[in-house]
Amino acid sequence: MKDIATPNRTKLILEKYGFSFKKSLGQNFLIDTNVLNRIVDCADLDNTSGAIEVGPGIGALTEQLAKRANKVVAFEIDQRLLPILEETLAPYPHAKVIHSDILKANVKQVMKEEFGEGQDVMIVANLPYYITTPILFKLLEENLPIRGIVAMMQKEVADRIAAGPGTKEYGSLSIAIQYYTEAETVLTVPRTVFVPQPNVDSAVIRLTKRSKPLVDVTDEAFFFSVIRASFAQRRKTLMNNLANNLSGIPKDKVWLEQTLLRIDIDPKRRGETLTIEEFARLSNALLQGKTAAE
């Protein structure tokens, strides 16, 4: 049987089921087997590995994952795709589709039920562009027992995730993802290999989960609040951004300036110049000073 991800077979499947794309779900199906194989290559799976997919569509990536992995579990929100997937994935009994919104699913429980304890598991997905960030945060914040994530997304978002300090792409998203993982862009994908064609080019990013977060912070939630506040208005100095946008600290610029100078951070710097290590130092110092001031 021909691979699902060819223009002709994709067209025949869609016509057979009278399927129409829902813009609200960000549906863009890949029609290039070479690209799919390269995505799966990046996940480094073998016949003992498990794979989790988000949004399998008509099963193009699921099929390629099933050819390599021991088991594939795919979460699909669109009920109209379930009968299609039942047909296209029939040759792969070790591929299971769960009808669920990934943002509401208990992924950890599903993993416990579907994979062996300690089994190597990767998340591999062509993510809907409009909810890429919430999905990534959910999967990382839940501390799932996975090796990492290989995800296709809008190139602009991939650039932001992999960016380093001092670049215009670097921001709170870069820091948050790199806190949990080692991030690298592994593939750029043109819009021409999708149906319907999106308005932007895509990129595949590989996130390798760290054994522990990159830096030690006293309070993780406060650490992320400091980062968000520091990037609230990119043209403003770090001190102005923190004074205007970080709640829960004394509204005293002298105190704030002294705190920054004490940890060797120039108050006139902008947030985009700070490394993750400097943000950790800043967060811990602000929290310590705030507690002392109370």
Q: Residues within the annotated binding site? A: 28, 30, 55, 76, 101, 126
For residue 91, whether the previous peptide bond is cis, meaning omega lies within 30 degrees of 0, is: no
Binding residues for S-adenosyl-L-methionine, as ranges, are: 28, 30, 55, 76, 101, 126
DSSP single-letter state for residue 174:
H
Residue 238 DSSP SS3: helix
d(CA 41, CA 136): 20
Maximum distance among all Cα pairs of the chain, rounded to whole angstroms:
71
For residues 102-135, one letter each, b for 16 or more C-beta atoms within 10 angstroms of the residue's C-beta and e for the rest, the string is beeeebeebbeebbeeeebbbbbbbbbbebbbeb
CA distances from 131 to 82, 94, 136 (A): 21, 28, 9
287: left (phi over 0), alpha (psi -120 to 50) or beta: alpha
d(CA 232, CA 237): 10
Output the six-digit token pair for 121: 């598991």
Decide if 206 contacts 149 (C-beta within 8 A).
Answer: yes
- Residue showing tokens 């403003």: 236
Percent of the chain as helix, strand, coil, to the nearest 5? 45, 15, 35
CA distances from 95 to 1, 36, 135, 193 (A): 17, 17, 21, 24
